[in-house]
Chain A
Amino acid sequence: MAEERPGSWFGFGFCGFGQALGSGRGRQVLSPEPLRVPDAGTDICDIGSLSAAWSYTAIVSSAGRLLLSGSARGAADGCRDAWASETLRAVLRDGPGGPGPGAELQAWAPGAALRGEPLWARPAGPEEAGREDDGAACETRAGPLPLLPGARAHLSPRPPLCRPLCPALRARRLALGAEHALLLDAAGQVLSWGGGRHGQLGHGTLEAEPAPRLLEALQGLRVAAVAAGGWHSVCVGAPALKEDGAGLKGPAGPEDAAAAPFIAVQPFPALLDLPLGADAAAASCGSRHTAVVTRTGELYTWGWGKYGQLGHGDTASRDRPRRVQCFVREQLRVTAVSCGPWNTYVRAVEPGRS
């Protein structure tokens, strides 16, 4: 890696549509490369939020500039958050008067280059008061999309594109898988619903759940973050309440272990120990892989690796967490991770800075 700046973003994995990922050349990147977005004038070390769909990536800088790269291209200003899916792109935009009230949520068709009219737009509603910090300032996302501000509804890549949520749930975070959803509430409890055939709901069966159902196996544990892959779920527990400090639970669901002749199913949350007793701080899932950031700034990845999305320099799939050595070698501290379906984006800083 040629350059090291405070708060640099790196990417690895699938980039077959030319989305910003390292050099942007070729179909895939097997090891972390500095993120390069083909748009002059953007300080991309200042990324506020990043959301990757399969064929394109949406990056929003802290200054509010949205950049799309990949199968969708374009740029726009006055954006605060973006959510990218293959069928829908949602953008949270400032009102005419700048940041503050008057913000609008816009949904765009995938091909639209942010010009003309969006599919629909609605007022963004009351803002969530600030962001939650988990002590070590590790976050996966800057904003709560696909959860709409106000947490009374959420986005979906399939119609209906906007779905109501019961306010009594007090949703704080929402993660969507291919056929299921995970919700983290204000009390640190997790609810799940949707299809369950792969055990991804964590209720111990393969039955679907039509409505949010409390994950009883995690009751009593204060969960700090949830992440959903295509068919698996990951929850990160707040270590303050866990005796052994290993706060990671999950994945509940299949792991695409290359050697196994068939896929195993884990319908209850299983405690996952990271090597060397590391504590998880944040997690993000691609369609068939998982990436976890530890409190000490290391990145672990496992799952499907065919497109280099695990970042270990090869295309092997792995069913056990393995540290991405690249960051250790370069002495960078990983602070955030955000996975697209087949790729992984990581924010890392030189130690001593945040």
Chain B
Amino acid sequence: MAEDGNRDAPAAGLGALWGALRALLPRTKEELRLDLGESVERSVVLLLQQAADLFYGGRRSECLQTSEVVLDYSWEKLNTGLWQDVDKDWRRVYAFGCLLKAVCLCEAPGDATTVAAALRVCDMGLLMGAAIFDDILIKVAAVLQAHLLPGKRPAHIPAPEQPCLKKARNSHVSIPDLRSERAVPRLRCPSLQHFRKHHLVPQTPVILEGVADHWPCMKKWSLEYIQEVAGCRTVPVEVGSRYTDEEWSQRLMTVSEFIDSYVLNEPRDVGYLAQHQLFDQIPELKQDISIPDYCCLGDGEEEEITINAWFGPPGTVSPLHQDPQQNFLAQVLGRKYIRLYSPQESEAVYPHDTHLLHNTSQVDVENPDLERFPGFAEAPFLSCILCPGELLFIPAKHWHYVRALDLSFSVSFWWS
């Protein structure tokens, strides 16, 4: 985006922004059409056409209004039934609404707030929508983010505080004494065959050393770097000590807001940027990680591997639970205390009997109520403190409990 030396920087900047955004969209309104199936009602299809007509007709505020209706209606569809049952077409419609709204917001002269708002809309489309027009929302988000970054960071973000951060927060986090616990075995760069024979097939946990320690993220990632690359992006955050609590909730905020509210400044509540496919949202971060080679031993395709980010202050807890797929957990920043129980011990971990929580244990692992859960005391387990550079293999359906001992960033790979 060339600055032509004109000191009317905001106006010139936004003109260039609008140009860059407009260039991402197809030239004609006929090309901005979604192929939608039967589940999207005729009235909605009409509305989408209308929105496209208005956009290409230069009628920005009407296009915004129509896009808003599209968003509100498809939002209701996204919230009907189970997420996995939501028709993908509705998510496409939602993404379409986000696209037009985000671009329209940037047509008129505005300031960093407007661009940040447009970026938030893009992120909503990425979080809740489905890919349209060759991942156009990712491209739009990248353009918006680039426009925001140079010196346009909102004023409230503090100067990098990293050195203080690293020591301060641990004062109230207890470090478990592992001497009486059975340790997860460790291997250094095992061959694919060795890993398959001794751990994948028998489904036993292992920590792999020397495998992830050279990933760029291990050197590059810091609070400051994450702030820079992702600060203005909207992400889902879990608020509350653990997801089994009544006061637990999820809300959306930018990464900067998350860091401000839940990492820095002695937060009152626990906030956890957990189980979020950050690397789909921000492809730049994906360059810093790799998919472990051992995943090729599975049956699935590489594109099907789910990569999640887990980023939070010391003290975040994932209650004891199981997941249906194999998991590689890569530790990037900070340390995590992890306990693993075999699926054979499922009875002894007393899973909830509701459908919603049937894969979650009722037991608070580090403070178990042995009157209610007597069998838990004798259940055998493995444990470890996972450190930066290490990769933990959690076999499918293995119960695992995770507590962060430091400011922590982990990346999980769910594969089959």
Contact = CB atoms under 8 A, between A and B. Distances in A.
Interface of A: 14, 16-17, 27, 54-56, 71, 86-87, 110-111, 178-179, 195, 205-208, 230-231, 261-262, 287-288, 306, 341-342
A193 to B, nearest CB: 14
A262 B249 contact: yes
Nearest to A27: B65
A86 B41 contact: yes
B46 A71 contact: yes
B49 to A, nearest CB: 13
Contact of A110 (B43, B47, B355): B43
Interface stretch (B3-11, B76-84, B94-102, B130-138): B76-84
A111 B46 CA distance: 12
B268 interface: no
Interface string B237-273: 0000000000001110000000000000000000000
Given A16-B66, A208-B355, A341-B76, 8 more contacts: A55-B41, A71-B42, A86-B43, A179-B81, A195-B81, A205-B354, A206-B356, A207-B355
B73 interface: yes
B147 to A, nearest CB: 27
A181 to B, nearest CB: 14
The 6 A-B pairs of least Cβ separation, nearest first, read: A55-B43, A71-B43, A178-B80, A262-B249, A86-B41, A261-B251
A208 B80 CA distance: 13
B315 to A, nearest CB: 21
Contact of B43 (A54, A195, A262, A287): A54
Contacts of A179: 80-81
Nearest to B80: A178
B111 interface: no
A199 B41 CA distance: 27
B69 interface: yes
Contact of A306 (B47, B72, B249): B72
The secondary-structure label for the interface of chain A is loop
Most B CB within 10 A of own CB, among A14, A55, A341: A55
A55 B46 CA distance: 11
Most A CB within 10 A of own CB, among B43, B81, B356: B43
Nearest to A287: B76
Given A179-B80, A179-B81, A206-B356, A27 B249 contact: no
B69 A16 contact: yes
B274 to A, nearest CB: 16
Contact of B41 (A27, A87, A205, A206): A87
Contacts of B79: 178, 230-231
Nearest to B68: A306
A262 B41 contact: no
A207 B356 contact: yes
Contacts of A205: 354
Interface string B42-82: 11001100000000000000000110010011001001110
A14 B356 CA distance: 36
B41 A110 contact: yes
A17 B80 CA distance: 23
Nearest to A110: B42
A73 to B, nearest CB: 12
Contact of A178 (B66, B76, B355): B76
A342 B71 CA distance: 14
Given A262-B249, A287-B76, A207 B354 contact: yes
Interface in B363-382: none
Nearest to A306: B72
Nearest to A72: B43
10 contacts: A27-B69, A87-B41, A110-B42, A111-B42, A178-B80, A207-B355, A207-B356, A261-B251, A262-B249, A342-B72
B76 A230 contact: yes
Contacts of B354: 205, 207
Contacts of A262: 249-251
A86 B90 CA distance: 15
A55 B73 CA distance: 11
A27 B65 CA distance: 9
B355 A54 contact: no
Most A CB within 10 A of own CB, among B73, B250, B355: B73
Contacts of B65: 27
A54 to B, nearest CB: 7
Contacts of B81: 179, 195
Contacts of A71: 42-43, 46
Nearest to B66: A16
A178 B76 CA distance: 9
A317 B66 CA distance: 20
Nearest to A178: B80
A265 to B, nearest CB: 10
Contacts of A342: 72
Contact of B73 (A54, A206, A208): A54
A9 B51 CA distance: 32
A182 B272 CA distance: 38
B43 A17 contact: yes
A151 B47 CA distance: 37
A328 B223 CA distance: 58
Contacts of A306: 72
Contacts of A110: 41-43
Nearest to B79: A231
B65 to A, nearest CB: 6
A207 B249 CA distance: 18
Contacts of A208: 355
B398 to A, nearest CB: 27
Contacts of B356: 206-207
Contacts of A341: 76
A18 to B, nearest CB: 11
A206 to B, nearest CB: 6
Contacts of A111: 42
A87 B77 CA distance: 13
Contacts of B73: 54
Nearest to A55: B43
Nearest to A14: B69
Nearest to A254: B79
A188 B43 CA distance: 38
A205 B73 CA distance: 27
Contacts of A195: 80-81
Nearest to A194: B81
A257 to B, nearest CB: 14
B29 to A, nearest CB: 20
Nearest to B46: A71
A107 to B, nearest CB: 16
Contacts of A56: 43
B252 to A, nearest CB: 9
Nearest to B47: A16
B99 to A, nearest CB: 20
A55 B41 CA distance: 10
Nearest to A231: B79
